[in-house]
Structure formats: structure tokens, C-alpha cells
Amino acid sequence: MDDRDDVFTIGQLARRTGLSTRTIRFYADTGVVPPTGRSEAGHRVYDTGAVARLELVRTLRELGVGLPDIRRVLERETTVPELAELHAAALDTQIRTLRLRRSVLRAVARLGATTKELGTMHKLAKLSAEERQRLLEEFWDETFGGLDIDPSFAEKVRGVRPDLPDDPTPEQVAAWVELAELVSDPGYRARVRAMSEAHAAARTAGTPMGAPGLAEREAMAAVVERAGQALAAGIDPASAEARPIADEIAARVAADPAQAADPGFRRTTADQWAVGTDARVERYWQLVGTLNGWGRMPSTVPAHEWAIAALRASADA
């Protein structure tokens, strides 16, 4: 065999493939690339087929494929394309995990989280997408369950699926952690349940609290803007200075001037607005907006609270 030019010693094979002699011996001993035979001196020798096998092994190893899988390829139990597909999918999972870990660490660094907060953040962030959605589904099941909720409204609310992107920003990681803690909080669940019960009671009474139409949304936007201006100016909603603003607000949402002037209408309107006005509920949707890339959502709760207080005060004046 020593005189053949298509047979190589371990040293020659090492120079040809770029692998060390120690690595080649290891592959030979484990049966991944066995020697073709022995030289007259008793040394291992390899043919050109072994060269091809070693080059394939080296490439797969550099791609992170383990020896058991490589052996399956060499023994024709699977093909390279099949193996590549499996490992590509595994790498996708690893990449998502690493990206998420990076975002958690950046969020911790930016927010200055404590050791306890770090543990909570990591625990909640590493939940699978299915586990994250299950947490939200359980929240809506508890807050809507057994109530006569408008199906289109329920579908719309449940249809908004906030979740972490594959490569979340630190802000999105922090938003998901805060959202998960919020929907798990018994006090928050009780508040949303109370809002849902009011929604169901209104449907039973024939005054459904469905999604507002365009005219109603425009009217409420005007109310929020005017109340926000009064709030920014430091006007007390119970003061005489606030009375003409309360009149403007009532006129915006009333069917006619007589209704706008009615103290009962003002109290009823204030009570209805109060049911749906909650800083934590608004925070839920702000967090959803951060996760889903909707952009910053400014708070309107303080303006709503001012308008509610002004309507009540003007009704009692």
C-alpha cells in the first residue's frame, strides 16, 4: 500500500484536510471515518473516500452538528438536506432564545433592575409564545366568563394579541413583563371584571356599551382635548371657572341643548365614563402598543377624570 498514490497516511491526510492528526485518530477510533487499511509498517492509511468523508465531517462539525447525527448521514440513515433542515430549525430556536436573553439583559441594564426584578423578568420573558398567549386567554376568560358580552366587542379585544417579537427591544421586554404582572394581579382582574359586568348590565337594559362610532369618537376626542386644556391650566373641576367648560363638554355629547342642561344627564354621563376610566386599563393598552409597535400612546385618563368631576360638580351646582 505504501506505493499507491491514492492512499494517505494520517500525516498526509492532516495536511490535505487541515485537520490535526489527533482529530483524525479520534474520528477513526469512534468509527466516523475508519481507516481504509494498514501500511506494511502497520500504520493507518486512508483513501480518497476518507478524504471526502473527513471534509464533510469537518463542515458539519463547524456548523454545530453532533457526531451522532453525522454518523447517521455517513451511514445513509438520513440525508444532508434533511439534517440541515433540522439543525436550521434548532438554530432558529437558539437564536430567538439568545436574542431574548440579550434584550432582557439590556432591559435590566437600562432599568437598573434589582436581583428580584431580574429573576421575575427572566422568568416571564422566557415563557414560550403559547404560554404567553395562554396567560392572556386565561385573563380574558376570567374577566368575561359567564357574562353577556357583545360578541363583536369580545372578539375585537381578544383578537389583539400582544407578544414579544423574535428580536425584542429592551422596552418591549420590559413592557411584556409589566403586562404579564398586570394581568396576573387580582386587583386588576377584579376591576376589569367589574367593567365587564357593567357592559353586560347595559346590554340587558337595552343600552349597550359597544365600540363608539366615528361621531362619538370625535366628540370624545374634543372632550379630552378641552378637559386636558383645563387640567393643564390648573382649573379646579368643581370651581365656578370650570362651569362653562362643563357646559361645553355636556353639549359635545348630548343629543340637544335641553339634554345637555339636564343635571340627570350629566350625572349619568359622568357615571358611564367613570366605569371605563381606569389608569391601569389604559396602561394595559399602552403596553400592548409598545409590544405591537403601535408607537407611544399618551395618557388620556387624567383628562377623562377632570371631565367626570366637572360634569358631576355642574350637575350639583
Q: 193-249, pLDDT tens digit by residue?
A: 999 998 888 888 876 555 556 678 888 999 999 999 999 999 999 999 999 999 999
Residue type, 137: E
- The pLDDT-based confidence of 111 (bands split at 50, 70, 90) is low
The alpha carbons of the chain give a radius of gyration, in whole angstroms, of 34
Which tens digit of pLDDT belongs to each residue from 134-184?
A: 889 999 999 999 999 888 888 888 888 888 777 788 888 888 888 988 999
pLDDT attached to residue 86: 74
What is the pLDDT, as a whole number, of residue 277?
A: 92
pLDDT at 80 over 90: no
Band (pLDDT 50/70/90 cuts) for residue 3 is: very low
Q: Which band of pLDDT confidence, cut at 50, 70 and 90, is reported for residue 259?
A: very high
Residue 2, pLDDT score: 44
pTM, two decimals, is: 0.64
Q: Identify the pLDDT of residue 270.
A: 94
In terms of Cα–Cα distance, which of 4, 82, 88 is closest to 38? 4
pLDDT-based confidence at residue 116 (cuts at 50, 70, 90):
low
Higher model confidence: residue 39 or residue 107?
A: 39
User: pLDDT tens digit string along 41-74?
Assistant: 778 888 888 888 888 888 888 878 888 888 888 8
Enumerate domains of the chain plus CATH numbers.
7-78 (1.10.1660.10), 95-203 (no CATH), 212-316 (no CATH)
Average pLDDT along the chain: 85
